[in-house]
Amino acid sequence: MSRRAVGAKLEAMAKAKVALLGASGFAGAELLRRLLRHPAAEVLRVIAKDHVGQNVAAAHPNLEGATELVFEDLPAAEAIAGADVVMMGLPVAASLEIVAAAERTGARIIDMSGAFRVPDAASFERYYGSPHPRPELLGRFVYGLPELNRERLRGARWVASPGCFATTIELGLLPLAEAGLLTGAVDVVGITGSSGAGAVPVATTHHPVRANNLRTYKPLEHPHTPEILAALAAAGGRSTGLHFVPVSAPLARGIFATSFVRVPASTSQAELEERYRRRYAGEPFVRLPRGRLPEVVAVSGSPFAEVGFTLGPADGAQRVLSVFSALDNLIKGGAGQAVQNLNLMLGVDERTQLDDFGPFP
């Protein structure tokens, strides 16, 4: 079907009414930028604790004149009243209130927080610092990585959209997991931009400090760790652990991850290239760059992720494979992926409102 025919079909469909909760942050800006022009979705209301009663442009100046929507602060039941889909990025306690309300209304949910990404209550308590209030809900959310769970997402009622670091690392390692090449511990260094820390400034995101600095935080204890391990296990990986060190960098958008994997000495560059190209040949938002390795400037401002690798020389029975992956943390690593999940849930082309290339440089 041509793009024009697809557009005509979408125009004829009743639009899904979408409520955006926690909409005043950077992810909210990206969601609104895409959903306000979405042919199959209509933004019903935007909920936030700040800028209440003000037009969305008060928090998102790029949307000046784009809509008459104003921020509202409403109880859970009122916030989602009339919504077909609820997209939220809220603290755990607030998320649970929304889930309870959605259980009564039947609304579908795309959650962008970490409340429902982890596979079990023990992992949640270890990495998020407190017991999960309703652990029975963890198994009811489909993990929203389309490259792993596309068919499950098409019929999902509730989706837990992945974290930005998690998406970056998982896309780099999925082909290895599926090939049975993840059998030991994986070591990862991930570098991230300041927008991943949210819209409210703190000491470590203050520009005079961040602009000239590299610093690690939560080394070996980052909360995305359990979701990464669970996703790779679901793909067939038998990794014995993940040693993940995140690093904050002086850039606003983007994540660059380097994952070190030990593979059999008989593994060849040609074999890996064929495996990666075959795995991602049909994926609309995963690119394997030609003649270069992944880089943030190539994906910043876009819904694309890039994946590449370098295979080291044999050292006894093994070789070290360095896998590089990069994406925009607010788009493929956040709000854009949530829109991709929404498209799958609505049964429309998953590229809808995501088929743009980022700026360069």
Q: What is the DSSP string of 30-51?
A: HHHHHHTT-TTEEEEEEE-SSS
> In this structure, how many other beta carbons lie within 10 angstroms of the beta carbon of residue 92?
17
202 annotated active-site: no
Q: Which amino acid is at 320?
A: V
Candidate list 48, 96, 148, 164, residue with the active-site label = 164
Catalytic residues: 164
